Amino acid sequence: MLIMKCPKCEKYINSALLAEITSIDCEHCHATVAVSNVLVSSNGFTFDRNDLLKRFFRYRKLLDEVIDEHHSIAENKGVSDVSKRSVEQFLTILQGMMTGARDNFRYQFSNPLSTKLCYSRHECRGTFFNLSTEGACIEISRSNPLPRVKGGISIEFSLPDGKEVFSIDGDICWTQKAKDGENSKHSVGIRFRGLDESIYTELWKFISEGASEVQK
Domain ranges of the chain: 2-37, 50-101, 107-215
Q: For 5-9, 16-20, 34-38, which range has the lowest pLDDT when averaged over its residues?
A: 16-20
81: β partners: none
pLDDT value of position 213? 65
Q: How far apart are CA 55 and CA 62, in angstroms?
A: 11
175: β partners: 188
Q: Are 22 and 32 in contact (CB under 8 A)?
A: no
Q: Are 41 and 3 in contact (CB under 8 A)?
A: yes
Q: Measure Cα distances from 74 to 40, 46, 55, 183 in Å.
A: 28, 28, 28, 20
Average pLDDT of 5-29?
90
4: β partners: 13
Query: What is the dotted CATH code of the domain comprising 107-215?
Result: 2.40.10.220
The structure's pTM equals 0.66
Which of helix, strand or coil describes residue 212?
Answer: helix
The separation between the first and the last C-alpha atoms of the chain, rounded to the nearest angstrom, is 12
